[in-house]
């Protein structure tokens, strides 16, 4: 087809080093599911994808700021009106806080409408002497620990696609019809503010946002949602390569191939190594790409990824999402920045302060501490400023609901409190209050740095 990258086609990943894929017992059923997927209409359009690319280019130049967030793993059961609305609400409110302090437009990108496949450190899981395939996300199998649930089911690819379409359809409907009301402070749940030592500052900031909104609306005579259309983009880890390949298409009057299952596919840390099938797949599509980088990666390999994924130095093409951990970022990030800067290619730097800060509690739960998350972010702002590069965005695992998965924040949630509402199937997420508070603190830091 037209103008593909050198020696690339949508199946060329198959001859590279393929990792993190499920083992299907019935290859014919897998093939049949892929054929059905490929015949269904796309979920996003190439012009939305190109618009996002242009916006990411401006974020890389420091003119906009990216807020990317959502579940670690979406689940089929949580594809509900309440859960989707709550996620949009928190992302929208966080973006307002950031816009207000940073004085930049915020690009909102959800980890949603397709975040259904997960990499795992082991192919199998053993409990009480029984060994079964690991849970790899609802796109593959189910979380319950029994042989039937853990068997990869090719029809889940179609189920995941359908739910992604339902999610996007609902989001598009909300954006078009009044959802912008959530801008207004009466929809903000600020009960936590009183528990924080920063109560007065938080209150002042939120009131000042409310005043700005009122001022703009009075001035223009229309609601803010109508002045600046509230856009959301979708992203997910492009992990399941049979699924991603099935969504890879050419479109009339544009060159090259697009993955039209999402605006921004990203490659996870475990599959971002030299020679990886995921990198081979990603290099040939025209979407903007995210790549997780950090612990365990050699800086020269990161620079090499930049050359492979963005040989022409296209602006907005590549976001490097670094995730080192609060304890390591000071040591690991600078050599990565230096190696990437030496390529001379533009990249957008985004900090994921979640995945380097995961730890186990004494009773075996996975958690992350609010202060460690904030610390990694604050250090990242400073490290980029010291290197003459720009931290252009943040990446969070969060939910709009009242879960108890991460410790800390204004309410001082401790490990004993985690059991009350621990619902994540994979990694711990910031809850509504923690996410909003994090936005207030990131906004404060970002405003000081820029
Ligand atoms: C994730 O974002 O959920 C994830 C698995 O991240 P990483 O690849 O950075 O570990
Ligand atoms: Co995660």
Lowest mean pLDDT among 198-202, 400-404, 408-412, 417-421: 198-202
- Between the CA of 425 and the centroid of ligand 1 the distance, in Å, is 14
- Residue 236 CB partners (closer than 8 Å, separation 6+): 111, 112, 113, 114, 115, 116, 117, 261, 262, 265, 266
Does 6 have pLDDT greater than 50?
A: yes
- Between the CA of 252 and the centroid of ligand 1 the distance, in Å, is 34
Kindly state the average pLDDT of the residues 411-432.
94
pLDDT recorded at residue 228: 62
pLDDT averaged over every residue in the chain: 94
Q: What is the percentage of the chain residues whose pLDDT exceeds 90?
A: 82
pLDDT recorded at residue 1: 42
| Cβ 202 vs Cβ 190: under 8 Å | yes
Residues enclosing ligand 1, CB less than 6 A? 72, 119, 268-270, 292, 323, 355, 427
Location of structure tokens 């997420």: 429
Give the 3-state secondary structure of residue 341: helix
Q: What is the pTM of this model?
A: 0.96
pLDDT digits (tens, 9 = 90+) for 222-260: 776 666 667 899 999 999 999 999 999 999 999 999 999
Kindly state the average pLDDT of the residues 430-447.
94
- Between the CA of 399 and the centroid of ligand 2 the distance, in Å, is 12
What atom in ligand 1 is closest to the CA of residue 118?
5
Location of structure tokens 């749940």: 189
Comparing 266 with 92, the larger pLDDT belongs to 266
- Residue 285 CB partners (closer than 8 Å, separation 6+): 248, 256, 257, 258, 259, 265
- Residue of 73, 121, 237 with the most ligand 1 atoms within 8 Å of its CB, for mutation: 237
pLDDT recorded at residue 183: 64
pLDDT recorded at residue 186: 67
Kindly state the average pLDDT of the residues 165-189.
80
What atom in ligand 1 is closest to the CA of residue 272?
8
- The gap from C-alpha 338 to its chain's centroid, in whole angstroms, comes to 25
Does 102 have pLDDT greater than 90?
A: yes
pLDDT recorded at residue 39: 98
pLDDT digits (tens, 9 = 90+) for 284-302: 999 999 999 999 999 999 9
Q: How many CB atoms lie within 10 A of CB 98?
A: 25
Give the Cα separation of 446 and 443 in Å (integer). Answer: 5
Give the 3-state secondary structure of residue 106: strand
- Residue of 238, 268, 424 with the most ligand 1 atoms within 8 Å of its CB, for mutation: 268
What atom in ligand 1 is closest to the CA of residue 270?
8
Nearest Cα residue to atom 4 of ligand 1: 268
Does 2 have pLDDT greater than 60?
A: no
Six-digit token string for 330 = 């000071």
What atom in ligand 1 is closest to the CA of residue 292?
9
| Cβ 319 vs Cβ 292: under 8 Å | no
Nearest Cα residue to atom 8 of ligand 1: 268
Give the confidence band of 181 by pLDDT, cuts at 50, 70, 90: low
Give the confidence band of 369 by pLDDT, cuts at 50, 70, 90: very high
| Cβ 109 vs Cβ 115: under 8 Å | no
Nearest Cα residue to atom 3 of ligand 1: 72
Nearest Cα residue to atom 10 of ligand 1: 269
Ligand with minimal distance to 397 CA:
2
Give the confidence band of 182 by pLDDT, cuts at 50, 70, 90: low
Which alpha helices (DSSP H) does 258-350 contain, by range? 277-283, 299-309, 329-343
Kindly state the average pLDDT of the residues 209-226.
78
Question: How would you classify residue 314: left for phi > 0, otherwise alpha for psi between -120 and 50, otherwise beta?
Answer: beta
Six-digit token string for 96 = 């307002």
β-pair partners for 276: 17
Six-digit token string for 329 = 């970022």
β-pair partners for 408: 413
DSSP structure string for 32-62: HHHHHHHHSPPSS-HHHHHHHHHHHHHHHTT
Task: Look at residues 30, 114, 62 and name the one whose alpha carbon lies nearest to residue 381.
Answer: 62
Task: Look at residues 125, 97, 95, 119 and name the one whose alpha carbon lies nearest to residue 107.
Answer: 95
């Amino acid at each position: 087809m037209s103008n593909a990258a050198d020696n690339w086609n949508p199946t060329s990943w198959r001859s590279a080093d393929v990792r993190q894929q499920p083992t299907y017992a019935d290859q014919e059923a897998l093939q049949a599911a892929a054929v059905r997927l490929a015949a269904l209409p796309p979920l996003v359009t190439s012009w939305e994808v190109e618009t996002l690319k242009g916006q990411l280019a401006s974020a890389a130049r420091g003119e906009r700021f990216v807020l990317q967030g959502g579940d670690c793993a979406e689940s089929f059961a949580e594809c509900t009106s309440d859960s989707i609305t709550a996620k949009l609400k928190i992302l929208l409110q966080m973006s307002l806080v950031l816009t207000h302090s940073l004085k930049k437009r915020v690009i909102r990108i959800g980890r949603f409408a397709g975040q259904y496949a997960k990499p795992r450190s082991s192919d199998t899981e053993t409990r009480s002497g029984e060994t079964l395939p690991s849970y790899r996300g609802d796109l593959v199998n189910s979380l319950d620990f029994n042989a039937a649930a853990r068997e990869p089911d090719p029809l889940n690819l179609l189920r995941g696609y359908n739910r992604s379409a339902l999610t996007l359809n609902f989001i598009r409907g909300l954006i078009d019809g009044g959802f912008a009301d959530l801008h207004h402070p009466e929809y903000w749940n600020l009960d936590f503010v009183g528990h924080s030592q920063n109560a007065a500052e938080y209150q002042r900031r939120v009131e000042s946002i409310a005043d700005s909104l009122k001022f703009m609306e009075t001035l223009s005579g229309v609601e803010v949602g109508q002045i600046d259309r509230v856009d959301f983009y979708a992203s997910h880890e492009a992990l399941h390569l049979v699924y991603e390949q099935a969504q890879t298409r050419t479109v009339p009057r544009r060159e090259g191939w697009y993955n039209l299952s999402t605006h921004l596919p990203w490659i996870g840390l475990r599959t971002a190594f030299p020679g990886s099938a995921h990198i081979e797949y990603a290099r040939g599509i025209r979407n903007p790409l995210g790549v997780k980088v950090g612990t365990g990666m050699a800086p020269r390999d990161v620079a090499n990824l930049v050359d492979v994924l963005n040989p022409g130095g296209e602006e907005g093409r590549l976001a490097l999402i670094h995730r080192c951990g609060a304890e390591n970022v000071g040591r690991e990030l600078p050599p990565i920045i230096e190696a990437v800067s030496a390529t001379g290619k533009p990249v957008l730097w985004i900090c994921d302060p979640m995945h380097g800060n995961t730890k186990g509690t004494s009773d075996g739960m996975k958690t992350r501490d609010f202060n460690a998350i904030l610390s990694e972010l604050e250090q990242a702002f400073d490290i980029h400023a010291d290197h003459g590069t720009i931290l252009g965005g943040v990446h969070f695992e969060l939910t709009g609901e009242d879960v108890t998965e991460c410790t800390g924040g204004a309410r001082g949630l401790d490990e004993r409190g985690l059991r009350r509402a621990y619902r994540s199937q994979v990694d711990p997420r910031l809850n509504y209050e923690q996410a909003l508070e994090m936005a207030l603190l990131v906004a404060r830091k970002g405003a000081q740095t820029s």
